[in-house]
Structure 1
Amino acid sequence: MNISVDPPDRVGPIALGMSVEQADDALRRIDGLQAEDGPREPLHGQANYASGLSIHTHFGPGSLVNAIEVFRPRADVSVLLHGFDIFGLPAQEVVERIGEFAELEEEERGCSFIAPELLVALWRPFVSTTEEDEQGYYFQSVLVARPGYYD
């Protein structure tokens, strides 16, 4: 399964500006929703999937989605930005690819990168140059936000 990151508007079926209920409905449309996040239980903007994928929506004024954060799946899901898998490629390669079409600001000594004009942020807990340290070698989350979110 593929989930597209389409800044500054959406991630998969979840769009910025949705209400809590609309966001929950969109999260339910993604295959593999875990049983504890059942079809009738309110998700409150957070869902976990069998693939290890986790998606959290953040709400701002008017209880509308102002940011969508996606956490790296273990398997079976590609999270695509401009056609490449941001969790399947090493973080350094993701930075290089995004740098071809957007300016990136490095923060936290390379643990976090923000593309202000895309309103996208990438994060990992530490920096590693070896694939054995998976959490530092690959990004662990991507966040898409509304204009003004970082102000």
Structure 2
Amino acid sequence: MHFELVPPTGIGPLRIGMPRHEANTALLSLRAPSTTSPSDRPGRHVFRPSGLMISISCVRDRLESVELGRPSSTDDTPEDEQGHYFNSVLVARPGYYDGPTTPQGRTAP
């Protein structure tokens, strides 16, 4: 499967700013229909048979970020879900890392 990354717009059918219910549907469409992972968490992340994780984050019922990642070859315990190391890419809305703002639009202390 190939994904077109279009920062800051989105990845594949996942578009930054889309409503949560549409993002959940789009995320499920990226799941392999013949193979589901016990690690899948619909509405949060799914794993493809290749090991690729597709993760979404929503704030105020809108898609805020999409992350693609896969366990790194330097992960010495890939069967352990805690502590995975991932090679990944994140596409997010502009200002994603700026932190919270005050009602006046200034960065909070």
TM-score (norm 2): 0.65
Q: 1: distance between equivalents of 2:42 and 2:31?
A: 15
> Which aligned pairs between 1:3-82 and structure 2 lie closer than 5 A?
3-30=3-30, 32-33=32-33, 34-36=35-37, 43-60=42-59, 62-72=60-70
Question: 1:55 corresponds to which letter in structure 2?
Answer: I
The whole-number CA distance in structure 2 between the counterparts of 1:31 and 1:65 is 18
Match of 1:140 among 87, 94, 97: 87
CA contact (8 A) 1:72 1:141 kept: yes
TM-score normalised per structure 1: 0.49
Percent pairwise identity: 34
Quick one: distance in 2 between partners of 1:51 and 1:142? 16
- Root-mean-square deviation (CA), in Å? 2.7
Amino acid aligned to 2:53: S
Contact 1:71 1:142 (C-alpha < 8 Å) held by counterparts: yes
Unaligned runs of 5+ in 1: 74-123, 125-133
Deviation at 1:72, TM superposition (A): 2.5
Distance 1:51-1:148 versus aligned 2 partners, 3 A rule: same
In the aligned structure 2, how far is the partner of 1:36 from the partner of 1:52?
9
- How many residue pairs match? The answer is 86
Query: Matched residues in 2 for 1:22 and 1:45: separation?
Result: 13
Equivalent in the alignment of 2:79: none
The structure in which a higher percent of residues are helix is 1
- Which ranges of structure 2 fall in alignment gaps of 5 or more residues? 76-85, 99-109
CA contact (8 A) 2:56 2:65 kept: yes
